[in-house]
Amino acid sequence: MKRRDVLQEAKERFVFVLGSRTGCRDDLNDEVVITGPLSPREAIGEPDRDDFPILRGKEVLMQAVYRGCAGQAFTSASGNFQGSLEDVLELPMRSTFERAVLVSTMNAVLRSLGLVEGTVHCKNEGPKECSLHFGLWAKEQGADKVGLVGMQPAILEALVNVLGTERVMVSDLAEAGKIRCGLKVLDGLEPSRIFENCQLVLVTGSTLVNSTIDCLMEDALRHERRVVFFGTTIAGAARLLGLERLCFCSS
């Protein structure tokens, strides 16, 4: 059976939304500007810790602007793009950069249509406040074990503080094998162990850009696990596909 292509599904629904609007052709001709990558300070301000991946040069935050509305996407790629919305939709999505352009653009356009909120990352004290919300929220869910796919150090720390190391698992592409908050970080390319053991799995929205979301959704379905995405990157796709998403402090 062919593996699900989550971004392609989101794109198709995005095109449907555009096509259902009067003046669709005018929408497609409107310009999209990717002014990225943002500097770390532009992206998250000055948080109280320095171990966020964007501060260590492991990822960047791209921002698309459409009709004055901003949409963002975390990615390992970087570059600049300027063209019409139709130009964006014609990108083949073969590269991580092209996927990031599409994702950030969908976020900006859906924001401009009033269909989604929380498309701009929180700054300064925001990441800390957000992580505290996640810790309390996770405790309320009552899951025996909670998985975190994608290293967000503040969220990981909050989960461990609230649940304890024995009830948390974490995986990441860049941090695999390292010890974080008393836990060994599992290989993000082999997420099955997390889905085998955790009833609730928090997944970074950047998996939509790096193409790992497809196998993650496959594992979640196989093990019948609840998946909740976090962050601004997946804001638009979550709205289009009915995926569960939390992002407490974004704007």
User: How many angstroms separate the CA atoms of 78 and 28, rounded?
Assistant: 24
Please check whether residue 204 is in contact with residue 220, taking contact to mean a CB–CB distance below 8 angstroms.
Answer: no
Judged by average pLDDT, the poorest of 49-53, 155-159, 230-234, 247-251 is 49-53
Residues 137 and 241 in one domain: yes
Q: Determine, yes or no, domain membership for 169.
A: yes
Pair 215, 149 in one domain: yes
Instruction: Confirm whether 216 is domain-assigned.
Output: yes
Of the three residues 112, 144, 160, the one that is the final residue of a domain is 112
Q: Give percent of the chain above pLDDT 90.
A: 79
Q: What is the pTM of this model?
A: 0.94
Task: Say whether both 61 and 153 belong to one domain.
Answer: no
User: What is the 3-state secondary structure of 36-93?
Assistant: CCECHHHHHCCCCCCCCHHHHCCCEEEEEEECCEEEEEEECCCCCEEEEHHHHHCCCC
Length of the chain: 251
91 within domain boundaries: yes
Mean of the per-residue pLDDT values of the chain: 92
pLDDT interval class at 55 (50, 70, 90): confident
Give me the pLDDT at residue 146, please.
98
Q: What is the mean pLDDT of residues 67-96?
A: 91
Across the range 135-139, mean pLDDT stands at: 96
SS3 204: strand
- Structure confidence at residue 1 (pLDDT): 55
- Tell whether the model's pLDDT for residue 219 goes beyond 90: yes
Does the pLDDT of residue 2 top 80, yes or no?
Answer: no
Query: Is the pLDDT confidence value at 209 over 60?
Result: yes
pLDDT at site 36: 65
Q: What band does 22 get if pLDDT is binned at 50, 70 and 90?
A: low
Q: How confident is the model at residue 40 (pLDDT cuts 50, 70, 90)?
A: confident
Measured at the CA of 31, the angle between CA 25 and CA 37, to 5 degrees, comes to 140
CA–CA distance, 226 with 217 (Å, rounded to integer): 10
Average pLDDT over residues 45-61: 87
Rg of the chain over Cα atoms, rounded to whole angstroms, equals 18
What is the Cβ-side half-sphere exposure of residue 139, based on CA atoms within 13 angstroms? 13
pLDDT band at residue 68 using 50, 70 and 90 as cut-offs: very high
Q: What is the mean pLDDT of residues 222-243?
A: 97
- What are the tens digits of pLDDT across the range 175-207? 999 999 999 999 988 889 999 999 999 999 999
Strands 69-75 and 60-66: antiparallel
26 & 91 share domain? yes
Phi, psi torsion values for 137, nearest 5 degrees: -60, -45
Residue 118 lies in a domain: no
- DSSP class of residue 128 equals H
Best CA proximity match to 18, nearest among 79, 102, 101, 78: 102
Asked if pLDDT for residue 24 goes beyond 80, the answer is no
For residue 1, tell me if it sits in a domain. Answer: no
Q: Could you tell me if 156 and 90 lie in one domain?
A: no
Query: pLDDT band at residue 250, thresholds of 50, 70 and 90?
Result: very high
Give SS3 for 246: strand
Taking alpha carbons only, the member of 127, 125, 159, 173 closest to residue 228 is 159
CA–CA gap between residue 141 and residue 99 (Å, rounded): 33
Do 226 and 130 share a structural domain? yes
Residues contacting residue 116 through CB under 8 Å, at least 6 positions apart:
107, 110, 235, 236, 239
Task: Give how far Cα 63 sits from Cα of 75, 135, 171, 172, 242, Å.
Answer: 11, 28, 26, 23, 23
Q: Which of 54, 83, 112 lies at the terminal end of a domain, its last residue? A: 112
Look up the domain containing 39 and give its range.
Answer: 6-112
- Which pLDDT value is given to residue 56? 82
pLDDT at 34 (0 to 100): 78
How many domains are contained in the chain?
Answer: 2
Cα 241 to chain centroid distance, Å, stands at 14
Characterize the bridge pairing of strands 183-184 and 179-180. antiparallel
- Same structural domain, 68 and 166: no
